A and B are shown apart, each in its own frame.
Chain A
Amino acid sequence: MARKEYDTFVLTDLALIPEDKEMELIVRDLTPADRRYKYRSTFAMAMVSKSESKYPDLLWVRLGRGQLQEKPWSIKIIKEVNKFS
């Protein structure tokens, strides 16, 4: 099965993003089953790695003004976090 793909916006120095540690971030779904839901955002508890192969899904990285970084990272989403209950 093809890997799922997400992206996220990193507003700090990329080097400051902790790898292999649980953290909360906003990700956008780039490959939903129903295409109408593409770019749906969600708060997620996840672990990321700058290695493209470490975790099950791909994570594309954009900087604060939308600049797409050339190489994707990988991500394991542990759970969605609901901010509205």
Chain B
Amino acid sequence: MANALKITKNTEESVREFLKILLEKRKVKGVFTLKKIGKNGAVTYSLITKSDELNDAVPFYPLMPTNAGKLLSRITRNGSTTEPVAVIVKPCELRAFIELVKREQGHFENLYIISSTCGGVYPLKTATDGTIEKNLSDYWDAVKKGEINQDLRPACTACTEFTPYGADITVDLIGNTELEKKCFLLLNTKKGEELVQDMKGELVDRDFDKEKLKKFYAKREKAKNQFFNENTKINGLDDLIKIFGRCIGCHGCSKVCPICYCTLCMFDSSNLEYKPSKYESEVRQRGGLKIPPGTIYYHLGRLTHVGISCVGCGSCEDVCPVNIPLTLIFKKVGESMQQIFEYIPGKNITEKIPLVTYNEEEYTEIEG
């Protein structure tokens, strides 16, 4: 049985055309993808309804201006789209969206999800200083070869979840040596199959090059272990104070975190404001107090709120104006939390978030 659509053309070109036809044939009413806008060609997510607007679409551009999971939630949080929309997102963005759907912050119905094996994205600053454009050809070379790119977001260099879960269609990028000539859309679901019916291209039998992906996985895993170990061992409160001491409390990290969806974060609420008497007693006890206080509490607290669902996308670190290595902490601690419950956030929509379920017989070792 055919399980892939083969288009004999440059991959990005093919996908762009594929999307255009989807719109023209009215199979979907909108396409959500990355697109260049304005004079300076800034890349941002866009919702596109006219096919010629897709000319500037760059579905696989190695940049994540905002985690798309957050954006899809913005669009669908009050209900699914009334008309079908195709969305092209990266694996961690999809996982974030699934976590948000589990939290009733988004709806899947009527979305056709197209994702790809992912070579990672560059830090946001490469978009502002222009280096990203210069890096593009190297980037695609590495993707073809199944190598890790230099200068990616640290989160991406250390990402082992580069194959999407639950996409209707997966575009084969990593290790596809013929990216410029051939494009393969792997069909994972009924919805995916529906979508490619009567489309240009040839239905073929094809799967990922499993061997290559395995090798790539090994490279990423090695990089991840290095990343987790090499960086300053965080050991105790003093180390945390060193790392977070320069935090200016902008809370940009929670604002861009796809999992932090609260309209008013608890750490911005009046709950956490110190009363005058509290300031007095704290200053008396400690001799002095950082103003505003609560930096460590904010970060550790946020960890307990989102760690279990952290998809390791690296958005937090990228937005931090003082370059705090947030990915290291959130990804590392997040994964260690997820491991206790053998949970991979966003892998399976039917799997419950570990903190809203339980088994009667478990973790008895901590009771005493």
Do A and B assemble together?
Answer: no
A residues within 8 Å of B by Cβ? Answer: none
B residues within 8 Å of A by Cβ? Answer: none
